[in-house]
A and B are shown apart, each in its own frame.
Chain A
Amino acid sequence: GEDVEQSLFLSVREGDSSVINCTYTDSSSTYLYWYKQEPGAGLQLLTYIFSNMDMKQDQRLTVLLNKKDKHLSLRIADTQTGDSAIYFCAESMNRDDKIIFGKGTRLHILP
């Protein structure tokens, strides 16, 4: 069945780059997402990429997709304390289909 896997924790020094990795199983996924969740808050869509793309850049965020390996990564350049949150990798087959989420990676920023 559909599954999304990601590591649970990542610690990064302030100013360094953070790279959060994710793998998914459903090769028919068309949309791949990164959501951010701050403590006690809802889900904020950071960015998404179509499965026919291999890279998308949006300011400090870079998403890389390796469709062959079903591997997705999110790179946050110049990590700031405000980036401290849980980052969820997610996928869906179509834009109006259910979204399947990973368990989330908790990003901890070291001073």
Chain B
Amino acid sequence: EPEVTQTPSHQVTQMGQEVILRCVPISNHLYFYWYRQILGQKVEFLVSFYNNEISEKSEIFDDQFSVERPDGSNFTLKIRSTKLEDSAMYFCATVGESQDEQFFGPGTRLTVL
């Protein structure tokens, strides 16, 4: 069964550093999303991306965040200058044209020290 993959599984970084989280969507999926889950809290929507542009973003997704599909396959989330409160699990999700389900990746655990 096709699946969404994410790399790395765990990233540790120093406050103020830039991080790039990567997602490989299911082939032929057209809608992409990033969510985050701070430890012990609920999963929160960050951004949705369709047709090479952001379709919706939450108030969490400020100027420190950006998304892109640099090579037409990977879907990346960049945090320009990480803060301690960015420590969370980040999930990528994708949806195909003919499906009802958002497929979630296994997540990247980001730890900011």
A binds B: yes
Using CB atoms and an 8 Å cutoff, list the residues of chain A in contact with chain B.
Answer: 31, 41-45, 48, 88, 90, 95-104
Report chain B residues within 8 Å CB of A99.
Answer: 33, 35, 43, 45, 93, 102
Report chain B residues within 8 Å CB of A44.
Answer: 104
**A101 with B44: in contact, given A42-B91, A42-B105, A43-B104 (CB under 8 Å)?**
yes
Pair A43/B100 contact, Cβ less than 8 Å = no
Q: How distant is the Cα of A93 from the Cα of B29 in the complex, in angstroms? A: 19
Residue of B nearest to A101 (CB): B43
Report chain B residues within 8 Å CB of A102.
Answer: 42
- Convert B77-113 into 0s and 1s, putting 1 for each residue whose CB lies closer than 8 angstroms to a CB of A: 0000000000000010101000111111111000000
Summed over the interface, the residue pairs from A and B with CB atoms below 8 Å come to a total of 50
Min C-beta distance of A7 to chain B, whole Å? 13
Min C-beta distance of A15 to chain B, whole Å? 29
Pair A31/B100 contact, Cβ less than 8 Å = yes
Q: How distant is the Cα of A88 from the Cα of B33 in the complex, in angstroms? A: 18
Min C-beta distance of A26 to chain B, whole Å? 13
